[in-house]
Copies of this chain bind each other. A is one copy, B any other.
């Protein structure tokens, strides 16, 4: 059914190789005449080259895989958008897969994508498939790790300074007079969450504020509501809170609304993540914002370099977050 090079060749009265030459723009040694003939034949027939066949021959598919932790984070969407833009500018396609932070899914996707011969992979790693990561790196397969670090893995990766950024945010709360500060994150299965919690603790320590176990919640989204309930039922509830990401923020909002806790007035709030409406909601919310676009760009560059066999340092590229102070931390506490 589909038209192939052979059809074009026949119609133009030349050989397949000539058509191939034409398609690959190697006109140098081609007569004006045959060039026109081939061009006409292609147009007449509506011929479209078959990229699969080309890929088989060239061992290059011009496709990359992106395995994202959870696409429902605004940050992930932004990074994907940035990656996709970059690759498309370079005539490549991105296959985006959503691993849902599930190591099994991640493994399956990595295998699927490699079977499809993608030229490289950008992974938001769950951190659990260490052997698999290692084997890819060892064989020199192009990989860039994104957002998270993996213990024991040395690879080109693009991350942010989670610990320092959280420290800075907590210090901001402390400057506002807060002493009873809580942190809420998802389960501590992923490096970013650990680092953010660490930054929280380090900031308290440096300021000689005691660390209270009950102020640190790390649990899955669906039990976060009841944990927050517990937190604010304490005899001495916190006056400020750090939300570990945007989904946590949503739970906090939900809880605050239900419990009639006034954010910004009764409760200082900092959110670690990008939120499109952060400065527009009421009260506007103080956020730690990650440079998603630059990060996507950097990761894409790192991957493309590897694909093009350029040398790439297997090192972390660390981006800095920005603290946007807004109304949710406006009130000073004594």
Name A residues whose Cβ lies closer than 8 Å to a Cβ of B: 48-53, 55-56, 61, 63, 71-72, 77, 80-81, 84-85, 88, 91, 93-98, 109, 111-117, 250, 253-254, 257, 276-277, 280-283
21 A-B pairs in the complex with CB atoms less than 8 angstroms apart = A49-B115, A51-B115, A52-B56, A53-B56, A71-B80, A71-B81, A71-B84, A72-B77, A80-B96, A84-B97, A88-B98, A91-B112, A94-B95, A94-B96, A250-B276, A250-B277, A250-B280, A253-B280, A257-B280, A277-B281, A282-B283
Distance in angstroms between the alpha carbons of A95 and B94 in the assembled complex: 6
Q: Does A116 lie within 8 Å of B98, measured CB to CB?
A: no
Query: Could you tell me the distance in whole angstroms from the C-beta of A47 to the nearest C-beta in chain B?
Result: 11
Q: Does A72 lie within 8 Å of B81, measured CB to CB?
A: yes
* B contact residues around A111 at 8 Å (CB): 48
* B contact residues around A48 at 8 Å (CB): 111, 114-115
Which one of B50, B71, B114 lies within 8 Å of A115 (CB-CB)?
Answer: B50
Q: Does A52 lie within 8 Å of B116, measured CB to CB?
A: yes
Kindly list 12 other residue pairs between chains A and B, CB separation below 8 angstroms, not including A53-B56, A71-B77, A71-B84: A48-B111, A50-B117, A51-B115, A52-B61, A52-B116, A77-B77, A80-B96, A84-B97, A85-B98, A88-B109, A93-B97, A277-B277
Distance in angstroms between the alpha carbons of A280 and B77 in the assembled complex: 21
Among residues of B, the one whose C-beta sits closest to the C-beta of A81 is B71
* B contact residues around A250 at 8 Å (CB): 276-277, 280
A-B complex: 10 closest residue pairs judged by Cβ atoms? A253-B280, A51-B115, A281-B281, A282-B282, A51-B116, A52-B117, A52-B56, A52-B55, A93-B95, A96-B96
Which one of B63, B253, B281 lies within 8 Å of A95 (CB-CB)?
Answer: B63
Among residues of B, the one whose C-beta sits closest to the C-beta of A135 is B46
Q: Does A112 lie within 8 Å of B98, measured CB to CB?
A: no
* B contact residues around A109 at 8 Å (CB): 88
Distance in angstroms between the alpha carbons of A50 and B56 in the assembled complex: 9
